[in-house]
Amino acid sequence: MAMQDLDPSEFKTQAPDAHGQVSTLKELGDEMKAKLARLGLMIAEEAGAGTYLQRDQTTSLCSTRSKGVEVLPIRQALQRYDWLKDYSWVAVKADTDKFTRDAASAPPDVVQGYFVRGLKGQVERAPVQTCLYVESRSTKQVVHNIVIAEEGSEINIITGCLAHGGIGRAMHEGISEFYVKKGAKVTFTMIHEWQEQMEVRPRTAIVLDEGAAFINNYIALKPVGSIQSNPIAYLNGDNSRVMFQTILYGKGSSRMDLGSRAVLKGRNTSAEMVSRIITRDKADVVARGLIVGDAPGAKGHLECRGLLLSDTSRIDSIPELDAKNPDVNITHEAAVGKISPDEINYLMARGATEDEATSMIINGFLSFDLSELPPEIAKETKKLVDQTMKGL
Amino acid sequence: MLDIRNISVSVGEGKERKPVLKDLSLHVEDGEVHVIFGPNGSGKTTLVQTMLGYPGYTIDSGKIEIDGADITQLPINERVARGLGVVFQHPPAVRGIKLNDMANLVLKKKNTDDVLPETADWAKRLNMEAFLKRDVNYGFSGGEKKRAEVMQIILQNPSFLLLDEPDSGVDVENVEIIGRLLNKFLQRDLKPQARKKAAVIITHLGYLLNFVKTDRAHVLCDGQFLCSGDPKEIYANILKNGFDKCQNSCLYSVREEAGCVVPDGTGRE
Ligand SMILES: Nc1ncnc2c1ncn2[C@@H]1O[C@H](COP(=O)(O)OP(=O)(O)O)[C@@H](O)[C@H]1O
Ligand SMILES: [Mg+2]
């Protein structure tokens, strides 16, 4: 089945009042708490800047603890701020595809999501944590998020997207729009832990003004039915930059079609895309990357590396570079294959057993640059990847 | 003590399979350092990989012993556990594994990213400090790879060291640094009876031998040792006559040595 064959109208959304409210994550059930903790989402509740938890279509918890940021349920935010409509369905166009059309046509009182705003000039290193939890059988979760980092602000978001055990075939449709204003910075660390029968269709766009930075870390280490996502960043302002780091571990019969795109419109803009993919079993991964260089001094690099741990899995790497200006410098490198026996032998010649050598190579393969993240998020992210590695 | 007894080794698979080492024997006592000279393609690296147990090198006959125990069937890491250590001619780059991770591996310090004091010390002596946090061998020059290899092996501290062209691609200044460190590591500054470390050094450049004292040299041609004898004399003769006619590397003076077969120069024995 091609990814586009999925029909969103097959799934029904839950009512907004289907689940209750909690005043702290600690009130949640044990399964949810354990899952959230695993993803590092329990860390920030007291020390963090804000928390948002959505179960199906219910906003169960939304709180702000920092003076530098504001976290609101999207419906409430749209009611409170008239100007917010100028940011709603702007970066992501409603008629992009059938999934955006489906989300845009859902009754407004059903659609939930978070609004996160970094207030002008405020640098908040403490994480904002958000969690989108698919909880009911055969449901479709429809989400619309808007993140605005005002001029000179910094926000750091860690977000977990998960599904409850045993809910069968279910769907997540998530629209996310990011606006990073002049000199602002957003780090967005997203961890997906769906399950075998989830169909996931996020649609994401980022608009960057002058000197803005957007750092995206995406980690998906658990099986999923199918996921298709290809966020696009518009670097409109001069000297703006984006970095997309992706770590994927495809297992079972997961089908993942994932990528990132950057349109370098402003002068001296830059994009860096790094992805690391491991597949086993019958996993099928398409790894896309597109950098459009459309202004003098634009720089971009796309790097995709994949390791196949089984003969029946597949990695299809599709890097695309589109230079529309002679004064751009965009490059790519891709390497996909098995673990090289030469490398294993080399580590064994330094005393490692074959298994140790293999896990060292895989571990090293999945290491990524955490230097842009606040320490709490970096630590939790590293812990999560390390734990997964132990299970390999 | 290392004992290679009449090994014949072939490489490649199926139709591609070809014999490389032919009934070759080598005996190295504890405390001894031997040097092997030989033209490209004569089988030097094959000998090293065979001793290590690399897949792809099939031992058709003969055996290899360390301290009297047959290691011919052991996997690579178990040979290493018995004291073997190698400086590779062409070590592979491994993305995601830092030179310091290799140091921690040989030092058996798992699960840490810390740079241990001994690593810092040897990195400094080998001008490799800036490389510790880089992916091992990735984008290293030829000389940097060799210095990284020497650093790892000194930290590993094997009792039997195999060095496959540790000096090729290294500038003269660094050959001297490497040579002096190896000489010390191999306890060549001690009295012969106090030396415990043994080594086989493969080189085509005699320059290294200005800094590492060696006991004995062998000339490997077409998978066989043509002769064995005094390293300096053999090297001098190689300089004079080259390897063009492999057998010219051997001297009359070593012809008298027991067990050394020296052809008459016609290419036939
Ligand atoms: N893995 C291999 N597969 C096929 N041929 C090989 C392999 N290793 C070595 N050879 C061949 O064996 C011969 C000896 O090679 P090698 O031991 O590398 O020589 P040296 O180190 O003396 O230059 C060469 O002809 C080489 O091409
Ligand atoms: Mg060689």
Asked whether the ipTM of the predicted complex exceeds the cut of 0.95, the reply is: no
Q: Assess if residue A353 is contained within a domain.
A: yes
What pLDDT score does B127 carry?
93
Q: Assess if residue A3 is contained within a domain.
A: no
From chain A, the residues in CB contact with B92 under 8 A are 340, 342-343, 346
B267 inside 8 A of chain A by CB: no
Mean pLDDT of all residues in A223-251: 96
What pLDDT score does A365 carry?
87
What pLDDT score does A386 carry?
79
Mean pLDDT of all residues in B219-241: 88
Rounded Cα–Cα distance for residues B90 and A249 (Å): 31
Q: Same structural domain for residues A239 and A367?
A: no
Whether B269 has a pLDDT exceeding 50, the answer reads no
Minimum mean pLDDT range among A181-190, B10-19, B80-89, B249-258: B249-258
Rounded Cα–Cα distance for residues A241 and A238 (Å): 9
Q: Chain A: residue nearest B86 by CA?
A: A349
Instruction: Provide the shortest C-alpha distance from residue B93 to chain A (in Å).
Output: 8
Contact A352 B108 (CB under 8 A): no
Cα(B46) to centroid(ligand 1), Å = 6
The parent domain of residue A364 ranges over 339-392
What pLDDT score does A2 carry?
57
Tell me if B41 CB under 6 Å of ligand 1: yes
**Digit-coded pLDDT (tens) for A20-76:** 999 888 898 888 888 888 888 776 677 789 999 999 999 999 999 999 999 999 999
- Tell me the whole-structure pTM to 2 decimals: 0.82
**Digit-coded pLDDT (tens) for A361-388:** 988 888 778 888 888 888 888 888 877 7
Q: Same structural domain for residues A117 and A133?
A: yes
Rounded Cα–Cα distance for residues B103 and B118 (Å): 9
Q: Same structural domain for residues A311 and A366?
A: no
Q: Between A and B, how many residue pairs show a Cβ–Cβ distance under 8 A? A: 63
Mutation target vs A (from B71, B97, B159; most A CBs, 10 A cutoff): B97
For chain A, what is the mean pLDDT? 93
Q: Assess if residue A1 is contained within a domain.
A: no
Mean pLDDT of all residues in B79-90: 96
CA B115 to chain centre: 27
Tell me if B9 CB under 6 Å of ligand 1: no
Rounded Cα–Cα distance for residues A120 and B189 (Å): 70
**Digit-coded pLDDT (tens) for A126-139:** 999 999 999 999 99
What pLDDT score does B237 carry?
83
Q: Chain B: residue nearest A307 by CA?
A: B95
Q: Same structural domain for residues A73 and A103?
A: yes
A259 SS3 class: strand
What pLDDT score does B248 carry?
62
What pLDDT score does B257 carry?
43
- Backbone dihedral region for residue A225 (phi beyond 0: left; psi -120 to 50: alpha; all else: beta): alpha
Name the packing angle between helices B172-185 and B142-156 (round to 10°): 10
Q: Same structural domain for residues A68 and A205?
A: yes
Q: Same structural domain for residues A277 and A371?
A: no
- Give the helix ranges, DSSP H, for chain A: 30-38, 44-47, 74-80, 98-104, 341-348, 354-365, 375-390
Mean pLDDT of all residues in B259-267: 42
Contact B96 A343 (CB under 8 A): no
CATH class of B2-258: alpha beta
In chain A, the number of structural domains is 2
**Cα separations (Å) of A47 from A24, A128, A129, B100?**
13, 10, 11, 35
Mean pLDDT of all residues in B246-260: 49
Domain boundary at A317, A334, A351, which?
A334
Mean pLDDT of all residues in A290-305: 97
Instruction: Provide the shortest C-alpha distance from residue B95 to chain A (in Å).
Output: 7
Tell me the pLDDT band of B256, cut-offs 50, 70 and 90: very low
Tell me if B44 CB under 6 Å of ligand 1: yes
Pair A334, A319: CB distance under 8 Å: yes
For chain B, what is the mean pLDDT? 89
What pLDDT score does A44 carry?
61
Contact A340 B92 (CB under 8 A): yes
What pLDDT score does A224 carry?
94
Contact A340 B75 (CB under 8 A): no
Domain boundary at A288, A305, A334, which?
A334
* Cα-only R_g, chain A: 20
Q: Assess if residue A260 is contained within a domain.
A: yes
| β-strand pairing of B216-221 with B224-229 | antiparallel
Rounded Cα–Cα distance for residues A200 and A194 (Å): 8
Tell me the pLDDT band of B240, cut-offs 50, 70 and 90: confident
Rounded Cα–Cα distance for residues A157 and A159 (Å): 6
Q: Assess if residue A236 is contained within a domain.
A: yes
Mutation target vs B (from A345, A358, A367, A368; most B CBs, 10 A cutoff): A345
Pair A186, A178: CB distance under 8 Å: yes
Q: Assess if residue A256 is contained within a domain.
A: yes
Q: Assess if residue A2 is contained within a domain.
A: no
Cα(B244) to centroid(ligand 1), Å = 18
What pLDDT score does A391 carry?
64
**Digit-coded pLDDT (tens) for A337-360:** 999 999 999 999 999 999 999 989
Tell me the pLDDT band of A85, cut-offs 50, 70 and 90: very high
Pair A68, A153: CB distance under 8 Å: yes
Mean pLDDT of all residues in B142-165: 97
| β-strand pairing of A185-193 with B18-28 | unpaired
Across the interface, which of A341, A353, A365 has its CB nearest the CB of B96?
A365
**Digit-coded pLDDT (tens) for A147-197:** 999 999 999 999 999 999 889 999 999 999 999 999 999 999 999 999 999
Q: Same structural domain for residues A217 and A347?
A: no
Tell me the pLDDT band of A4, cut-offs 50, 70 and 90: low
Q: Same structural domain for residues A363 and A280?
A: no
Tell me if B51 CB under 6 Å of ligand 1: no
| β-strand pairing of A114-118 with A69-73 | antiparallel
Domain boundary at A292, A314, A334, which?
A334
Q: Same structural domain for residues A98 and A222?
A: yes
Contact A367 B96 (CB under 8 A): yes
Q: Same structural domain for residues A107 and A134?
A: yes
**Digit-coded pLDDT (tens) for B126-149:** 999 999 999 999 999 999 999 999
Q: Assess if residue A56 is contained within a domain.
A: yes
Whether A3 has a pLDDT exceeding 80, the answer reads no
B266 SS3 class: coil
Tell me the pLDDT band of B75, cut-offs 50, 70 and 90: very high
The full set of domain ranges for chain B reads 2-258
Tell me the pLDDT band of B255, cut-offs 50, 70 and 90: very low
Which atom of ligand 1 lies nearest, measured to the CA of B223? Answer: 14
What pLDDT score does B26 carry?
97
Pair A261, A287: CB distance under 8 Å: no
Q: Same structural domain for residues A53 and A138?
A: yes
Q: Same structural domain for residues A219 and A206?
A: yes
Measured by CA distance, the residue closest to atom 25 of ligand 1 is: B41
Owner of token pair 């199906």: A56
